[in-house]
Amino acid sequence: MKDLSLMTWKEIKEVNKKDSVVFVVMAPIEEHGWCLPLATDIIEGENWSRGAMEMIEKNSRIKCYYLPTFPVAAASVNTFYGSVHFSMRTTFEVAYEILDSVRHMGFESIVIIASHADPDHQIAVIKAVRKINRKYGICAIAPMGSIFEGTGVEPTEDIKELEKDYSNDFHAGWIETSSMLDIDDNNVRSGFNKLPDSNITDKDMISKRKQLAAMGEYGHIGLPRIATKEIGHDLNRNCIESISEAVIKFYNRAEYKKYDNYFLYKILPLHIGFLKIFGKVKRGKVGE
C-alpha cells in the first residue's frame, strides 16, 4: 500500500489504475466522553483501513493506495468541548470533490471509510458516492454505514452475546473503548471502568435532545466500564475483514451491493440537514 500524497504526479500517472483501489478516511474531531480522545473515529478509520489494505494485498492482485485522513464530518451533537463538526451539505461537497479528484486521476475503484456512525455523516457521504457514480459510472463505495448496521463478516460468538445483552451502545461505550484499547491503550484514560452506564433506545437516538440527556455530563452513550482489549481485538478484526470483503467484491463488481445498502439512507426526514433552513451546524453553548 502507498500514500498517494507522498508520490509524484508522474508516479501516479504510471500506476495501473485498473488493478488499484484508493482508500479515503473521513471522520470527525469530536468529543468521546471522559476516557477517549477527540480523534477516536480517525484512529479507528485509519486502523481499519490499514488492516484491510494489508489483507487485500495479501489475498488478491489489487494494489492499495490511500490519501491522508480528511477530518471532515457531519454530526448531530455539538455542545461539548473539542467537537469540530460540519454541516451535511459541506460534508457532502467535500466528499464529492475528493471522489471527483481521485476519479479524474483515472482510478476506477475508490472506497470512502466513513468511520463515524452518525446518520448525518453516513448519509452525506453516501449521497456524494451516488452522485459520483451517476457521473462516471460505478467507481466508488462507502461501506461503513452498512457495516455499522451489521452487514459483513460474521462476528465471534462472544461479540454476538455482548451485542445482544448491551445493544444500546452508541458512542464512546464498550464498543469504541474496547476498539481503542486494542489499537493503542495509551489513548484510553484510566478510570473508564468506573464511568456510569448511559442508556438510550434506538428510537430515542433520533432526537438530539434525548441524545444530550443520555450523555449527561460525561459525553458517552453506552457502557465503557465493560470494555476490554480482547473485545476490541475481535471487534477490530471483524471490521477489517468486513471492509476487506466489501472492497474485493466491489473491485470485482460482484455481490457488493449489500455493502451499498444503508437502511437509514431511506428515511427521508434524516436528509433534512440538506435543506438550507435546517442545514447549519447549531453550535450550542459548551456545557461545563
Could you read off the pLDDT of 23-54 as tens digits, one per residue? 999 999 999 999 999 999 999 999 999 999 99
What is the chain's length? 288
244 CB burial (10 A radius; 0-12, 13-18, 19+): buried
Q: Give CA–CA dist 212/216, Å, rounded.
A: 6
Output the CA–CA distances (angstroms, integers) from residue 80 to 32, 93, 218, 288, in the order listed: 9, 25, 10, 8
**pLDDT-based confidence at residue 277 (cuts at 50, 70, 90):** low
If you average pLDDT over residues 12-27, what whole number do you get? 98
Q: What is the pLDDT of residue 208?
A: 81
**pLDDT-based confidence at residue 269 (cuts at 50, 70, 90):** confident
Q: Is the pTM of this model over 0.85?
A: yes
**pLDDT-based confidence at residue 88 (cuts at 50, 70, 90):** very high
Decide if pLDDT at 167 tops 70: yes
Q: What is the pLDDT of residue 23?
A: 98
Decide if pLDDT at 240 tops 90: yes
Q: What is the pLDDT of residue 283?
A: 67
Q: Give CA–CA dist 17/7, Å, rounded.
A: 15
Q: Return the percentage of the chain with pLDDT > 90, whole number.
A: 85
8 A C-beta contact, residue 162 and residue 219? no
Using only the alpha carbons of the chain, give its radius of gyration.
18
- Angle at 266 (CA atoms; ends 263, 272), nearest 5 degrees: 120
Q: Which three cell numbers stand for residue 72?
A: 471532515
8 A C-beta contact, residue 178 and residue 231? yes
Residue 135: how many other CB atoms lie within 10 Å: 12
Distance, CA of 209 to chain centre? 23
The DSSP symbol for 104 reads H
Distance, CA of 156 to chain centre? 21
In what side-by-side order are the strands of the sheet with 140-141? 2-3, 63-66, 20-25, 110-113, 140-141
Alpha helices in the chain (DSSP H): 9-13, 40-59, 88-104, 119-136, 144-148, 157-165, 174-184, 208-215, 229-251
| Residue 121: closest CA among 172, 86, 160 | 86
Those residues with Cβ within 8 angstroms of residue 258's Cβ, 6 or more apart along the chain or in another chain: 146, 151
Decide if pLDDT at 130 tops 60: yes
Q: What is the pLDDT of residue 2?
A: 98
| Domains, the chain, ordered by start | 2-272 (3.40.50.10310)
Q: What is the pLDDT of residue 46?
A: 98
Q: Which three cell numbers stand for residue 11?
A: 508516479
If you average pLDDT over residues 180-188, what whole number do you get? 98
If you average pLDDT over residues 187-197, what whole number do you get? 97
